[in-house]
Structure 1
Amino acid sequence: MTKKDIVRTISEEVEKLTQQQTKEVVQKTFDAIIECLVRDGRIELRNFGVFEVKPRAARRARNPRTGEQVEVPRKHVVTFKPGKHMEARVRELDEAEARRQQDLDDAKKLEPPAVNPLEPPPSSSPQGRWDTDQP
């Protein structure tokens, strides 16, 4: 989903706002989040999650193309910890996937085994083949 999709969804649900007005509100919201992170280093949005600025130490890494070791300088990164409501909703995806997988497994157990047209059918006779003298 892109910012444009968010704007479209909100403007369809809030009939009093045009898409242009909604776009401005969404952009101002994002700008306010960024400014708060720069100023305070943390923003908590109840029932959504917490954005936080954390320092990342300098480290050595390897250039994947050349294999050469390079120094990565210390920097600040934004982390996000989802709120309980978001985690619960995402967990529903795992539960739904587990149910789908269980349904597929159950369906496979009920299917008859596949028949290979190149293999002769198993003999129903307890004796040997009819065209040989072996029992």
Structure 2
Amino acid sequence: MNKSELVKMLAENHEIPAEESSVIVNLFFDSVRDALLQGDRVEIRGFGSFKVKGYRGYKGRNPKTGDNVEVPPKRLPVFRAGKELKEIINP
């Protein structure tokens, strides 16, 4: 399912205009993004949690050329599925 399919499903299931459904979906994703940018953890009970994890820099190697490469530190978003979601997927 992609974002436009989610907008369509929300509009159909709750009998609201597609434009209003789009605003709701965008507001949700914007809120999650903003919380992560502020360093907060986002937890949706029964579904899972999102957080930003920091990784240290390291020395890597370019597999094509064999040259050593300095990989800078980075921060990446991480999702962890909740217990209920795991149980639904693996009964």
* Fold agreement, TM-score > 0.5: yes
Shift of 1:61: 2.4
Code of the aligned partner of 2:86: E
Say how many residue pairs are matched.
91
- Deviating 4+ runs (over 6 angstroms): none
Deviation at 1:63, TM superposition (A): 2.5
Shift of 1:81: 1.0
Residue deviations 1:16-64 (CA, integer Å, cap 9, x gap): x111111111011000001111124311111111111111110122324
Identity of aligned pairs, percent? 33
Higher strand share: 2
Q: Look up the equivalent residue of 2:5 and give its one-letter code.
A: D
Tell me what 2:14 maps to: 14
- Runs of 5+ in structure 2 lacking a partner? none
TM-score by length of 1: 0.62
Please provide the CA RMSD for this pair.
1.4
* 2:90 alignment partner, SS class: helix
Q: With a CA cutoff of 8 Å and minimum separation of 6, indicate the structure with the bigger relative contact order.
A: 2
User: Aligned partners of 2:44, 2:75: CA distance in 1, in Å?
Assistant: 21
Q: Which has the larger radius of gyration?
A: 1
